[in-house]
Amino acid sequence: MTATPPIALTIAGSDSGGGAGIQADLKTFQAFGCFGTSAITAITVQNTLGVSGVHSIPVDTVQAQIRAVADDLPPAACKTGMLATSELVRAVAESIRVNRLPNFVLDPVMVASSGDRLLDEDAQRTIVEHLLPLAALVTPNLDEAALLVGFPVDDPEAMRRAAVRLVELGAKAALLKGGHLRSEELVDLLWDGREWREWRRPRLDTRSTHGTGCTLSAGIAAGLAHGRPLDRAVEDALDFVQRAMQSAPGLGAGHGPLNHLVPGPA
């Protein structure tokens, strides 16, 4: 008999280019052996060159999607991506509380790889006030971390201070992603309020970076859905993203997608 897969839920925007957002999350859930479900928060008009349009889904429809999944296909873990507006952030936070969604991974999507802004400025504070205290893990890149904590985050020492601050603000743990460091070596730092974990790897010379944050947070959520410890879930997801970048298919003229067909963790 085939074992019943754990269910994971992504609450995020749709990427018409297929490399990020809902599309990347569902591909990653599949690679990690999870059954993927979704609540779409926005429809974006985008490709590897950038975002040319965003259409937000009505808030009550987003909440109804989450409720429909929770009622019939209760997820063992969930993640959020693009939430766009303060109203939607509040609504999603309420849905996570009301439906008691476990193992919530908060990917605070604010800016696309192309530089296009994907979050209203006034929604930043709403994320800190309403979503961060619900998160088992928050996974900002350096730019997102700086927006959330209110000070520049551009080196490993600042990353540590930001991680500590994010946990003080309510997250159970913070993973600071070092992809934007100005160095040949990338550093990713995990702080769970008690212990530090650090991963170092060489920088890859590639334009295929579209969807890395979505893929990483989805991989972590999938690991948590399987019942793995947080540090193992993070390590597996980091490894998956690295291999997916190394074997990227080179599609598109801009920031291309990863190869989500690489094997997930055993």
- 86-134 confidence digits (pLDDT tens): 999 999 999 999 999 999 999 998 865 555 566 767 788 899 999 999 9
CA dihedral 208, 241, 56, 68 (to 10 degrees): 150
Q: How far is CA 153 from CA 58, 91, 160, 162, in A?
A: 34, 29, 9, 7
Whether residue 266 has pLDDT greater than 80: no
52-61, 93-102, 215-224: range with lowest mean pLDDT: 52-61
pLDDT computed for residue 2 by the predictor: 63
Cβ-contact 188, 156 below 8 angstroms: no
Q: Where are the beta strands (DSSP E) in the chain?
A: 7-15, 35-47, 50-56, 77-80, 104-106, 137-138, 174-176, 185-191, 196-202
Q: Report d(CA 21, CA 53) in Å as an integer.
A: 14
| Global pTM value | 0.96
Q: How far is CA 55 from CA 13, 23, 58, 84, 202, in A?
A: 9, 16, 9, 10, 37
Indicate the pairing of strand 174-176 with strand 185-191. Answer: antiparallel
What mean pLDDT value characterizes the chain?
Answer: 93
- 227-239 confidence digits (pLDDT tens): 999 999 999 999 9
pLDDT computed for residue 251 by the predictor: 96
User: Could you give the residue numbers annotated as active site?
Assistant: 177, 209, 211-214
Whether residue 1 has pLDDT greater than 50: no
Was domain 7-246 assigned CATH 3.20.20.80?
A: no
Token couple for 92: 């999603």
pLDDT computed for residue 66 by the predictor: 98
Question: Which residues are paired to 36 by β-bridges?
Answer: 8
- 197-211 confidence digits (pLDDT tens): 999 988 888 888 899
pLDDT tier, 179 (very low <50, low <70, confident <90, very high otherwise): confident
Whether residue 37 has pLDDT greater than 90: yes
Q: Report d(CA 29, CA 31) in Å as an integer.
A: 5
For residue 96, give the nearest of 10, 15, 213, 28 by alpha carbon: 10
Q: Report d(CA 120, CA 216) in Å as an integer.
A: 23
What is the separation, in whole angstroms, between the first and last Cα of the chain? 19
Backbone angles phi, psi at 46, to 5 degrees: -155, 160
